[in-house]
Amino acid sequence: DSGVTQTPKHLITATGQRVTLRCSPRSGDLSVYWYQQSLDQGLQFLIQYYNGEERAKGNILERFSAQQFPDLHSELNLSSLELGDSALYFCASSVEDRNTEAFFGQGTRLTVV
């Protein structure tokens, strides 16, 4: 157990819908990272927050957004869902503003039908 908690573990939804994925980082970690892993794309960095502020952005679609709250948990919002958004979404956390020793949660498997 990495100490990073993601909910829900599985999510099935229809195209066009909106979902919210939640991540609670390890105690004491200030950075949260979101990744998308699909079969044809591998693990892709989406976005990073550090202590409530957006720190870095990867190939995140405009339909996707995220935020980190004062208690440091983070949410990833996915809207106007398409079939191609079906993937595993991982959250990772680290103490510092860098990926050193980042720990991954178990992921949320999103299926868009």
Partner 1 sequence: GQNIDQPTEMTATEGAIVQINCTYQTSGFNGLFWYQQHAGEAPTFLSYNVLDGLEEKGRFSSFLSRSKGYSYLLLKELQMKDSASYLCAVEDYKLSFGAGTTVTVRA
Residues forming the site for partner 1 (CB under 8 A): 2, 33, 42-45, 48, 56, 58, 88, 90, 98-107, 109
Q: Shortest approach of partner 1 to residue 101 CB, angstroms?
A: 6
Phi-psi region of 108 (alpha: psi -120 to 50; beta: other; left: phi over 0): beta
Q: Which residue, 30 or 79, has its beta carbon nearer to partner 1?
A: 30
Other beta carbons within 10 Å of 19? 18
Q: Shortest approach of partner 1 to residue 16 CB, angstroms?
A: 27
- Cα four-point dihedral sign 87, 101, 48, 66: positive
105: phi then psi, degrees, rounded to nearest 5: -75, 175
Q: Shortest approach of partner 1 to residue 10 CB, angstroms?
A: 11
Q: Which residue, 80 or 99, has its beta carbon nearer to partner 1?
A: 99
Q: Shortest approach of partner 1 to residue 19 CB, angstroms?
A: 19
9: phi then psi, degrees, rounded to nearest 5: -80, -35
Q: Which residue, 1 or 71, has its beta carbon nearer to partner 1?
A: 1
